[in-house]
Amino acid sequence: MSYTLELYFERPVVRRSIDQYFANRRHFSVSGNTIGYGNPDTEVHFSFHIRSSRNLLLRKVVRYAEFEVNYFRPSHFGLEAEIELSAFMAAFRPRIFDPQIRGMGEGPYSREGFLRGWDFGNQVSIYQVLSADRDRKIWAMPANKLNAIWEWNYQSADRQKILKNRRHLQSTMFITVEGRPSRAIIWSHGAPVSLPEVDYVLLMRPVADGYRFGLVPWSEVLDVVQRAGLDTSKVPLDLQYRVTPKPIEKWFADIPLADPSAFTRLHTYEVLDTELIAAAHESIAIGEIDGAITINPPPRAAVAV
């Protein structure tokens, strides 16, 4: 199940210029006529499919392309896809045909139009999956928490450039703890770090055969940081020091190592918005899909690009 947008170039575009465009943007890879996007920090992925031919000068040109992004995804998936789609539209200005219900039709392209069509299709896909199996287990979390994780991960590379080597940044992740999805991040060896608010922190420690982790709740992190005399009034926690404070050093040394079976990592795209799941169940209960699409979509994150 996926969203597909058809792109038409009134004046054929030299294929080399399209390849060069994607070579200059992060997270894209070219494989024949498929140009894939895969962000390792957010795990968002989608693709462009290019149709090439040769003109009278035997140069490879592109007259038609498709943009495709999957459904049954958290709502921020569409937001990251739109950032790249919007940039491509601005660079090459193709005509569009959007065949999705509530899509843009023959244009013009707009951010709002894309998100409206993708949101609708995404909600329908969740409705269809749960209609076929009402008891299916779907990991879910409120949209505001998902958006905060996505925004942190999306901007992490740029934040790390600003911080250079003064503090370390890790991407946030999802893990299951006692059968529930939780937000987590790794903190290594008590080193200077910037930590967003999460549910659990994984304290990484070297052991004889590699590394193991202690699993601690966010409240315990705040407690030890306060005991170390550091500021906990702002999030993210920017922990800067030349020498690891004694309370943090001792805490890392004494924390019990967690049983590896105590938590399981989830892909970020496996955790959907609680609001979308609730809307689908409501629609199933009343016997019509409109219940899944008349509810406002989850609140969007605002990210600077």
Inside any domain, residue 226: yes
Q: What is the CATH number of the domain that holds 95?
A: 3.30.1400
Instruction: Indicate if 120 and 18 belong to the same structural domain.
Output: yes
Give me the residues paired with residue 35 across strands: 30, 48
Inside any domain, residue 296: no
For residues 20-25, give the mean pLDDT.
Answer: 96
Q: Edge-to-edge strands of the sheet including 210-217? A: 210-217, 200-207, 180-188, 173-177, 263-266
Pair 48, 67: CB distance under 8 Å: yes
Q: Angle 246-254/218-227 helices, nearest 10 degrees? A: 140
Predicted confidence (pLDDT) at residue 291 exceeds the cutoff of 60:
no
Pair 75, 143: CB distance under 8 Å: yes
Residue 42 pLDDT grade (very low, low, confident, very high; cuts 50, 70, 90): very high
Inside any domain, residue 295: no
Which residue's structure tokens are 């789609």?
85
Instruction: Indicate if 29 and 105 belong to the same structural domain.
Output: yes
Predicted confidence (pLDDT) at residue 292 exceeds the cutoff of 50:
no
Inside any domain, residue 161: no
Ranking 133-142, 167-176, 202-211 by mean pLDDT, the lowest is 202-211
Inside any domain, residue 285: no
pLDDT at 92: 96
Inside any domain, residue 297: no
pLDDT at 219: 97
Instruction: Indicate if 29 and 109 belong to the same structural domain.
Output: yes
Predicted confidence (pLDDT) at residue 261 exceeds the cutoff of 90:
no
> For residue 201, what are the CA distances in angstroms to 76, 186, 193?
23, 6, 12
pLDDT at 86: 97
Q: 192-234, pLDDT tens digit by residue?
A: 999 999 999 999 987 777 788 999 999 999 999 999 999 999 9
Instruction: Indicate if 174 and 125 belong to the same structural domain.
Output: no
156, two tokens: 């992490």
pTM: 0.88
Tell me how many domains the chain contains: 2
Instruction: Indicate if 122 and 13 belong to the same structural domain.
Output: yes
User: Phi-psi region for residue 178, left (φ > 0), alpha (ψ -120 to 50) or beta?
Assistant: left
DSSP state of 108: -
Instruction: Indicate if 126 and 181 belong to the same structural domain.
Output: no
Rounded Cα distance between 138 and 279, Å, is 14
* Three-state DSSP class for residue 199: coil
Predicted confidence (pLDDT) at residue 76 exceeds the cutoff of 60:
yes
**How many residues comprise the chain?**
305
For residues 104-123, give the mean pLDDT.
Answer: 94
Helical segments of the chain, H only: 15-23, 76-92, 111-132, 143-163, 218-227, 246-254, 274-286, 290-293
Inside any domain, residue 155: no
Q: Which of 132, 162, 180 is the last residue of a domain?
A: 132
For residues 94-112, give the mean pLDDT.
Answer: 94
Instruction: Indicate if 128 and 180 belong to the same structural domain.
Output: no
Q: What percentage of the chain reaches a pLDDT higher than 90? A: 69
Inside any domain, residue 291: no
Domain interval for residue 49: 2-132
Q: Which of 132, 160, 184 is the last residue of a domain?
A: 132
Instruction: Indicate if 38 and 120 belong to the same structural domain.
Output: yes
Pick from 282, 286, 272: nearest CA to 119? 272
Instruction: Indicate if 116 and 189 belong to the same structural domain.
Output: no
Instruction: Indicate if 9 and 127 belong to the same structural domain.
Output: yes
Rounded Cα distance between 121 and 154, Å, is 24
For residues 22-38, give the mean pLDDT.
Answer: 95
Instruction: Indicate if 117 and 176 belong to the same structural domain.
Output: no
